[in-house]
Amino acid sequence: MKPDKPTQIKKESDLCGHNRKVLLDYRIPTRLEEIEKLADAVNQALSDPDLAFRANVCLEELITNTIVHGLNGAADRFIQVQISVSNEWLEILLKDDAPQFDPFMQAPSPNLDLDINERPIGGLGVHMVKKLMDDARADYDGSGNVIVLLKKLHQAAG
């Protein structure tokens, strides 16, 4: 079922009132080949290559999981991505209309002590997202999942 309106992020930003500036507001079709276009847009929006890399790794993991698992490959939907910065934080918001799912609470935790060939599939990507960001959480707003990723910006000493 295709939604009547584009998926919108209704969640109030965690950065409100903190010199928040939206750098990217992007609506990505739910096709895996579209992730590369999003990555190009992220690279243009974020001048810091390390932040762009972190953002793109997290976005690729979470969007791929949403498309493959949450939407079962449905190619006629959209995921809204918004990237904002304040003086201290990078914030990434993702909104989809997949069934309610919190990857940070519900995805299996990987056993990092096992040999890579012995590890079951699943959980490593979400673990990586949590390691690349300072805060990663999900909520359900009644119309879809909203994922919030926060990364503390390191200011140059001066």
Distance CA 148, CA 138 (A): 6
Distance CA 146, CA 139 (A): 5
Q: Quick check: 158 and 143 in contact, CB under 8 A? A: no
pTM of the shown model = 0.84
Alpha-carbon torsion (74, 67, 123, 93), positive or negative: negative
Q: What is the mean pLDDT of the chain?
A: 85
| % the chain with pLDDT above 70 | 75
More confident: 55 or 110? 55
Alpha-carbon torsion (90, 95, 98, 100), positive or negative: positive
Q: What are 104-151's pLDDT values in tens digits?
A: 988 666 666 666 676 556 567 898 999 999 999 999 999 999 999 999
Q: What are 80-92's pLDDT values in tens digits?
A: 999 999 999 999 9
Residues facing 80 on adjacent strands: 27, 95
Sheet holding 135-140, edge to edge: 21-29, 78-85, 89-96, 145-152, 135-140
